[in-house]
Structure 1
Amino acid sequence: MKHLRTWLAVAGVVAIGDQAFFVVLSLFLLSFYGSAIAASFLTAASVTRLCLILAGGYAADRWSPYRCVQVGLALRIVAFLLVGCDSLQGPHVPLLSCGIVLFGAGDGLYLPSSGALLKRLTSHGDFSRTISWVQVITSVATGLAGASSGLSFETVPLHALFLTFALLAAVALALFCAIPNVAAATQADDQPPQAQAPSIASVSLRVVMARNGGIVAIGLITALLIDASLSGVMNIVLPARYLELGWGGGTFGAAVCVFALGGIVGGLIASRIPSDRTSTRNAVINCGILVFAALTCAQYIAVSSSLSLLLVAVSGFGAGVVAPTLIGDIMNSTPESFAGRIYSAINLVTYGSAPVAYAACGFLMTRFSTSAPFLVGAALLALGGLARLIATFRSS
């Protein structure tokens, strides 16, 4: 338990550094290079992160999630120092490019490896509760970092900010090194008696996806559906809708805050759902998807900012309950030898669905209306929720 608490502290420090770095980096790039070059740099970081997420899960399973996390944190330190040197010496594209690409590589290596290591540090069935606390901690850290870094950009020298991020990454690495390199658990430690099998080490990824009624495969598809819908609505459609209605950027800032607050409350509730209550957990996920569909549809007809903010807060609450429950079910059904690759798939769903969702929302908003993606997203969520409900009923 002591090592798990230390790991949660590491996750919080990393979340603070990541969110603050992205806010300051975006403002820095826009100020010195303009929107086109800024978008190119951020795209390069995203592509690098996705590539390393894909490779990082395999490396964590075949090599060591502990070492992969160490390398990821070390790359963060180097990346922050390079970007800090660039801001100190003036615009220097090669140096900045190296820093941003290294950050994407470090983040991509850290994300899947952290999930694999977290599974080692938790006993069977407790992953859902642990990931709920991870969500709460990272949500609080992200909110604080996002609010403070925006103000700091105007008052603190840029190189000092980036060096502070490097110091935070060094603190995270030092805390992490206090956790011993936990060896892989034996099969008996990792799985309940009824799930044990003598050939567990030789099973394929396809078998892992299909076992226990296809919990892993269905869970990943469900996560893709939710992430694609929420990322498009929250990051593209909602701010455009608020500006169209004359509510201003301040209302969107408030929407981000209430969504985060709802996620924190939802995460606390998700941590109380027993891992052995399969029917309850399935009901939470299935109802959550259908509620998301209703809330997304309601945004289409929301005529006041207060009503829209209320809908956003409830959506945040639902995401806080559904996301850790869904991820917990996926990881609890995953053998430890495949934890890195499955958690890598979860991160690919999370970070890879966003660009597709943005492009789709942009097309719908240009071709039809600003609020059209609300209806399309609601329809997709409703169909996906009904399909998952039928699949859950058949498997039970």
Structure 2
Amino acid sequence: MSGFLKTELPKPPLHLQILNQTERQLHRWGIRLAPFEPDMLREIAMKQSNLSDFDENPLFCAALEVLCRSCEADTHFSFVGRVSIREYIVRALVNRLRYVQVRTLEPEVSRIALEPPIIVIGLPRSGTTFLHHLLALDPEARPLLFWELIEPIAGSKPESRRQNLNRKLANMKRMNAAIDRKHHFAPDNPEECMLLLDTTLLSLSFWVFAPVYEYLHWLRHQNKHDSYQVYRWYLQRFQRETPHRRLTLKAPAHMGAIDALLNAIPDVRLVQIHRDPAQVVPSLHSLIFSLHAMVSESLDIQRMTESNMTYLEHLITTTESARSSGHSWVDVQYDLLIRDPITCVQQIYQQLNLTFTDELCRRIEQFLAHRPKEKFGKHLYSAEDFGTTEVLIRKRFADYYQKYILNP
């Protein structure tokens, strides 16, 4: 499309190109490999887990139906992408089966008191990952690592969870070696706790990894209170493992369900970071494009960018509405975080009435020394890459820009 630059899909390795071509030919002959059929995916999950109780409710069933329909109707998956996303959905269903089983076997989990968790929120690409990593350095903090989040309840081989994820990430990076410039994926990294919502099938992560437009639109309008009760249960189970450490988490997606989060965890400590939307928007487009490109043979860039911006508007509107509830927020400016990370964390601790120790300061200094900005390469992007300008983006997000960037 004219006006959209740097949007060529990466070419997969030759053997994957052959697989994709074979699948396309079979589809022309009326043979669909790896279909997204809800009952079939349920059967696969039950077979993998040796469990059968999904504790289904109408919303869970609707979510699976919409997600599968969106995968078939909205996307142009490569065969490799189709298999990958299908496996991702099956994993969510397996996690659901394990959750239902363990919830029955461990009734005490729901009675565990949570140390008020710290959760970093903010528009995606606003520095939430960097800030989360800094806060997670505190010896009293308990971050959740990627391998724990992707499979929060172990199956029969608990030691394999990290290795399995590491293998999948290696395959992903063979598809696009430059992905780490945009977001560094590693099994032992603190990662987004929105992945815990995959169990409920009401999770933004399905959009992050695949262009499921109908599902994204549907998700925006759902009541997520029950999903966040499941989220709380997971946090209680993790809390039981380390009872004297506070869970330190992050997920921009929580902004779209702040009311449900506050209902589930009334004493949560929210830290919201603010960055100029003119930088947030093209950075988000760039990341989502790369992730969608790894599973797709063609993409509608204009539709992707509009869907991203509509969802950002939803995140802002929902969070601004929740701010009127009286719950306290800690607001952080992206510019301060980048310019002086230690002072930024000190200010957060002061507002949260936490002690900023010499040990934490030392750990932050070591982290900054060994993981400088752009360690994995420079993430290059611009508004013009995606058919817009900084002026137009700021105009679209004018209220947010005025309140949090111009007059913080």
TM normalised by structure 1 equals 0.25
TM normalised by structure 2 equals 0.25
Write 1 or 2 for the structure with the bigger share of strand. 2
Write 1 or 2 for the structure with the bigger share of helix. 1
